[in-house]
A and B are shown apart, each in its own frame.
Chain A
Amino acid sequence: MSETNAAGPSTTHPGPARASATRTNTGRAITANIGDVLVSCRGLRKSFGDREVMKSIDFDMRAGDITVIIGRSGSGKSTLLRAIAGLTDPDDGEMVFDGEVVFADAKRTPAWKQVDSHVGMIFQSYTLWPHMDVLKNLTLAPRKRLGMSEREALGRAEKALAEVGMSDHIRSKPVQLSGGERQRVAIARALMMQPKLLLCDEITSALDPPVAAEVLDVLRRLKEEEGIAVALVTHDMAFASKAADRVVFFHEGEIAVNATPDEAFNHTNDPELKKFIEAVRF
């Protein structure tokens, strides 16, 4: 059924030569170069009760790539992201991150703790902590987890907010921000940990199309300027066709198509993907 399950050749890599040069206080630096395989999943399975939501998923992601994941609700997209993020443990299978096995025999390996801070995730609902202002939202984890000084954390927060165009809102409370602004701050908060992989689970589904386009543009810039790999679950086909390096189509717990946007949208033979694209477009 699958057209290809490999990550395939990466299309564009205008970002930095290496995916990472920074060592955090909680783990090791990433060694993968831009274009190298950063995440590799083999035979991932996950069931909730009687329902198998991932059926032996094989999936690769390259450093610096944008991978857009599409599919109907309940097809297993979010479960895959949560498995890569460490929020959900698959029942079976193996995951390799930056060349090290981080999940095997149905549990995380010690190597996961060495690399987990390089993985960031942003959710559909607004997960900014409402009792803290934007600055505190951004600096809490770097200060408490990475042991960063207040001054250093402030400097990094200012840089992260500038990257997402939110510099004017450093002292705002989340309740004072619009939906798009909150998602941009959520991206900035994830950037504070200097991730090399950003997992985005339907982060624009609650936003108006122009606001969603702004948020997605931030992700595109992060890939181009910072070399951050992005895995994005979205129904925005325009973004997928313009900015994605790979498009992955999930159908009933399996990866039915893993291809370039051109192959996926213009030359696919997969009947389910054709139906899905038609349904989303119209």
Chain B
Amino acid sequence: MNYQFDWSVVTSNFPRLLDGLLMTLEIAVVVIVLSMILAIPVAFLRMSNIEVVRWLAQIYIEIFRCTPLLVQLFWVYYALPTLTGITIPGTISAVIALTLNLTAFMAEAYRSGFQAVPPEQVEAGKMLRLSRVQQMRYIIVPQALKQQLPVILSLNISLFKDTALVSTIAVADLMFTANKISTESYRALEILTVAALMYFVIAFPASLILSKIERNLMMGSSVRKKKGLAVQMMPSGKVKVKP
């Protein structure tokens, strides 16, 4: 390989890359927060006793789960203005498309968590005359979120990486900026390597946290299933379960 690395192109353009990273993080945070909130009502609609409502929620979820994110992004950016007559800026289009996409996946994660809470626990709440909202808030949601935390975190990590697609609609995120600098400097190897490292530096700790949570949850469930045997074999023995 005769390629001569020139890392000066990275140092001279580092502030631009940081600006791009900041835009990526801003989009990711806004989309994640919006999706985590919006997915709650969507999950409830998906479990509604009214068939039409349930079907509408399911149609929305399936459309966004079964079509490519890039198509959704282009559709919101290029096709939606044709329908509405309103031009939507790239950043807003990106947030709309990514939020609609992540909400669909997140709603299914929530629904699965809600339905995994044993009905007897909800009935115990009913017998203590807790209202439906109180049953949701204090009994169902905390357990469902805890159980689905690995899935939710995993979806959020994927979303963070998927934000790179917004560069295709001219949003100045990290990928767009890196691509632009590469074209200007003809130093794609150095710039794209650093861009990849920047994504990695953000996503890897989140992935480690995810693994730790999964391990803790698995240990917790084995404690519950084996009732003491697993805990007795644990060196720390902090939690003692009676048989």
A in complex with B? yes
Return A253 CB to nearest CB of chain B, in Å.
Answer: 22
Number of chain B residues whose Cβ lies closer than 8 Å to a Cβ of chain A: 26
Residues of B within 8 A of A125 (CB): 118, 120
Interface of A toward B, CB cutoff 8 Å: 26, 85-87, 116-117, 119-121, 123, 125, 127-131, 140-141, 144-145, 173, 175-178, 181, 186, 189-190, 192-193
Judge whether B134 is part of the interface by a CB distance below 8 angstroms. Answer: yes
Given contacts A85-B127, A129-B139, A131-B143, contact A144 B134 (CB under 8 A): yes
Residues of A within 8 A of B129 (CB): 26, 116-117, 141, 145, 193
Return A230 CB to nearest CB of chain B, in Å.
Answer: 15
Residues of A within 8 A of B130 (CB): 140-141, 144-145
Q: Show 13 A/B contacts (Cβ-Cβ < 8 Å), sorted by A.
A: A123-B123, A123-B124, A127-B118, A127-B120, A129-B138, A129-B143, A131-B143, A131-B146, A140-B128, A175-B223, A175-B239, A176-B241, A186-B124
By beta carbon, the residue of chain B nearest A181 is B242
Return A254 CB to nearest CB of chain B, in Å.
Answer: 26
Judge whether B215 is part of the interface by a CB distance below 8 angstroms. Answer: no
Determine whether the beta carbon of A140 is less than 8 Å from that of B127. Answer: no
Within 8 A of A (CB), among B127-166: 127-131, 134, 138-139, 142-143, 146
CB-defined interface of B2-31 with A at 8 Å, one 1/0 digit per residue? 000000000000000000000000000000
Determine whether the beta carbon of A178 is less than 8 Å from that of B120. Answer: no
Given contacts A87-B123, A123-B120, A131-B146, contact A141 B242 (CB under 8 A): no
Return B242 CB to nearest CB of chain A, in Å.
Answer: 4
Query: How many angstroms from the CA of A77 to the CA of B6 in the assembled complex?
Result: 81
Residues of A within 8 A of B134 (CB): 144-145
